[in-house]
Chain A
Amino acid sequence: MDTVKATGSPVKIRKQKTNLATNSLLSRSAYTIMYVFLIIVAVFQLFPIVWLFLFSLKNNQEVFNMSPFSLPETPRWENYAKVWTEGNISQYFLNSVVYTVAAVVLTVLLASFVTFALTRMNWKGSKLVLGLFMVGLMIPVHSTLIPLFSTFTSINLIDNPLSIILTYTAFNLPITIMILLGFYEALPREVEEAAVMDGASINRIFFQITLPMTSPVIATAAIINMIYNWNEFVFVNTFISSDVYKTLTVGIQNFIGQYTTDWGAIGATLVISILPILIAFFVLSNRIVEGIAAGSVKG
């Protein structure tokens, strides 16, 4: 580039310079406009959630008689104490944690087994099995809902936490395998080869060598699974009828049904339900961003 400039005529150089000058002036105002635009979009994305937090700290009198944009006179944290102790929110919360953790562990473990067998081991039919898992990504949950409901009813798994954990696992396996696949393919084979030479069994290679090596991608896959499971609604709403087994997403739905006018209580309930994910996001945001990108682009 420098050589081109040096051999060019003086006129040409001057012309380029003025161009650059106007460009930078133009681009500076364009830059500002674009920046303002991006910030407006950010406010639009964030404001509803801030507003939710605001009204979770108000009482009804403040909600109904004052501007929706006003700050609460005194933050009423008692709204949180109230919804946590009244109703079953704490029970729902615990259920969400148990189902989420159980399904995440099961999904990641099974997906690791499959991905290991698909990428590290040699066998006929691996393409077909991979295909089965990948087509699973396209299948709408609703097309399976009625048979699952009737099957679970007939084998007494309806209104049973197991039905939820197993369906979460089955429906998250395809995306989890997809996330793991790229990472496994990039793993060097030398370590495994050396282990085989040393006479290690395949199980030992998997558990003591490969699985630990994949811990970064396992963390990413686990977080993506956690977000999906924590927020899932249709399966719990369909398969679970007892309050003791409901999760937060379904539980808050019923809870809010009873408190249609107590905005503070509704706000507090919603904040409780979204808080674990928000905290996870603040702590692990890079991993989550990575995971979502990894889980979607490759399709």
Chain B
Amino acid sequence: MNKVMSDKKVIALYITPALFLILALIYVPIVQTGYYGLMKWNGIGEMEFIGLKNYSQLINDPLFWKSALHSFLLALFSALSLIGYLFISIILAGKIKGADLLRKIYLIPMLLASVAIAQLWLKIYHPTNGIINSMLLAIGVDNTPAWLAEPNIALYAIIVPIIWQYAGFYILIYYAALKNIPESLIEAARIDGASPFQIALKIKLPLIMNVIKVTIVLAVVGSLKYFDLIYVMTGGGPNGASEVMASYMYQKAFKGFDFGYASAIGFFLLIICLIVTYLIRKLTETKNDIY
């Protein structure tokens, strides 16, 4: 048995293709990104080694910090929206008729391409014919905003469809976790006279804390590298008002042909994602994890 199941040749044969792909297409590129970040390079011509210049330029680039701030705002709102998703899931996981159907309806936006969602919401936000402004006009609001063209609103106008898009995903995760809680625990608390609110706060939440931690990491890291909707809906505009780190990197590389600088942004993004993942895991670490 052991001899067959530890055949080195077979193991190598089974592991190598997949390992080669992730090394060649994920791990080597992230090292290269850090290396390119040390170069002055337009993507086609010769590379010129300039040391840490790109990185020091990055630290002094107000546009980059603006985009980083927008990324963090997006992460903050995404993390806050988890509270709402959790609330909905707790109701849904109570004994409610049609919970399965509702949960599936919530999930639908998550299945659709971000590009299609972006085009759809461009129409929803359309200044004259969109749903929102039509409704505002109908209730007598005259100065309807051009949502995506207003520097003070554009970023928030994009955050709404992002929250819409991911609602079903997080509700599904919480719902699955809540359904895993043994019924006897909740029944016992109910007999002891705990209110539904107390049961949710004192029993359900602690029991699914691990899942909540995972969703916080997913929401925050996902927000930091978010790109699709922003690229299609505003392209980072108006005037950088909705630029995030990934869109700023993309613009520097594939519109500005400043591949060295864009690589420095890409490397910074990688480091931030890894640090934030680590920090959230550390900060939300509890002494007695239940499972």
Contacts and interface: CB of A to CB of B under 8 A. Distances in A.
B10 A121 contact: yes
Q: Contact size class for B?
A: 35 or more
Contact of B111 (A31, A51, A174, A277): A277
A227 B165 CA distance: 14
A94 interface: no
16 contacts: A37-B91, A38-B88, A38-B96, A68-B130, A122-B5, A132-B22, A138-B277, A140-B225, A144-B29, A146-B263, A148-B29, A192-B5, A201-B4, A233-B115, A297-B176, A297-B177
A233 B114 contact: yes
Contact of B96 (A35, A132, A234): A35
A117 B14 contact: yes
B17 interface: yes
A13 to B, nearest CB: 14
Contact of B164 (A45, A68, A267, A297): A45
B139 interface: no
Given A113-B14, A151-B29, A197-B1, 13 more contacts: A34-B96, A35-B96, A42-B102, A49-B112, A140-B273, A147-B263, A196-B4, A227-B111, A233-B231, A252-B116, A274-B112, A293-B176, A299-B218
A146 B36 contact: yes
A132 B19 contact: yes
Contact of A292 (B11, B169, B266): B169
Interface string B1-28: 1101111101101110111011111111
A63 B129 contact: yes
A293 B21 CA distance: 26
Q: A-B pairs with the 9 shortest C-beta distances?
A: A147-B32, A231-B113, A144-B29, A170-B25, A140-B225, A147-B29, A143-B270, A113-B14, A110-B18
B119 A256 contact: yes
B18 A266 contact: no
Q: Could you say which interface size class chain A belongs to? A: 35 or more
B30 interface: yes
Interface string B41-55: 001000000000000
B236 interface: no
Contacts of B111: 227, 231, 274, 277-278, 281, 288
Interface of A: 1, 27, 31, 34-35, 37-39, 41-42, 44-46, 48-49, 51-52, 55, 63-64, 67-69, 110-111, 113-114, 116-117, 120-123, 129, 132-133, 136, 138-151, 166-167, 169-171, 173-174, 192-193, 196-197, 201-203, 205-206, 227, 230-231, 233-234, 238, 248-250, 252-253, 256, 263, 266-267, 270, 273-274, 277-278, 281, 285, 288-289, 292-293, 296-297, 299
Contacts of A132: 19, 22-23, 27
> Which one of B15, B102, B231 has the greatest number of beta carbons of chain A within 10 Å?
B15
A178 to B, nearest CB: 12
A48 B125 CA distance: 11
Contacts of A31: 96
A190 to B, nearest CB: 11
B254 interface: yes
A51 B10 contact: no
Given A121-B10, A146-B36, A147-B36, A34 B218 contact: no
Interface stretch (B199-207, B245-253, B282-290): B245-253
B104 A110 contact: no
A253 B232 contact: yes
A200 B124 CA distance: 61
Contacts of A273: 113, 115-116
